[in-house]
């Protein structure tokens, strides 16, 4: 009888991969700013032990998480196509209601009439104010 092996894959595996990748970048930056790179010699490895350990540890974690992500997606069933039969149908009346109404462009005569009305209203308001101030 064959034993089945069940892989337990965490839900946030993609975030772990991204986090480990950024951590590895930051640790690599610390290693590049260390004494080994500045002095161009491996003799100074003891001064850079912390960045070296961080790079090794985060590199291992990144590799492990990449492998587990790869196996999770390799063994996952293919995505099922969505059933669009329960989608709501849109009637032409709903489409017409959702549209922006067409705006009419006023003719030059209408613009002149509106401006004349506003000027007359401002003159009347000014005359009314002058009567009260006198």
Q: Yes or no: say if 27 and 19 are a contact pair by the CB < 8 Å rule.
A: no
Q: Is residue 48 part of a domain?
A: yes
Q: Is residue 45 part of a domain?
A: yes
Q: Is residue 47 part of a domain?
A: yes
C-alpha span between 54 and 30 (Å, rounded) = 9
The better pLDDT of the pair 109, 32 is held by: 109
Domain region containing 30: 23-73
Q: Is residue 59 part of a domain?
A: yes
pLDDT of residue 131 exceeding 90: no
Q: Is residue 53 part of a domain?
A: yes
Q: Is the pTM of the predicted complex or chain greater than 0.85?
A: no
For residue 2, name the pLDDT band (cuts at 50, 70, 90). low
Q: Is residue 119 part of a domain?
A: no
Per the structure, how many domains does the chain have? 1
The overall average pLDDT reported for the chain is 80
pLDDT tens digits, one per residue of 16-54: 888 889 998 988 888 888 877 788 777 777 788 888 898
For residue 118, name the pLDDT band (cuts at 50, 70, 90). very high
Per-residue confidence (pLDDT) for residue 129, from 0 to 100: 86
Distance, first Cα to last Cα, the chain: 112
Per-residue confidence (pLDDT) for residue 122, from 0 to 100: 94
């Amino acid at each position: 009888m064959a034993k089945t092996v069940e892989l337990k894959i965490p839900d946030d595996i993609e975030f772990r991969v991204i986090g480990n990748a950024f951590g590895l970048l930051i640790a690599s930056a610390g290693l590049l700013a260390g004494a080994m790179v500045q002095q161009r010699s491996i003799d100074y490895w003891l001064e850079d032990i912390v960045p070296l350990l961080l790079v090794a540890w985060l590199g291992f974690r990144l590799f492990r998480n990449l492998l587990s992500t790869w196996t999770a997606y390799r063994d996952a069933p293919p995505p099922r196509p969505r059933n669009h039969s329960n989608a709501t149908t849109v009637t032409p009346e709903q489409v017409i209601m959702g549209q922006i109404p067409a705006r009419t462009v006023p003719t030059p005569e209408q613009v002149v009439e509106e401006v004349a009305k506003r000027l007359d209203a401002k003159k009347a308001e000014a005359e009314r104010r002058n009567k009260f101030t006198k």
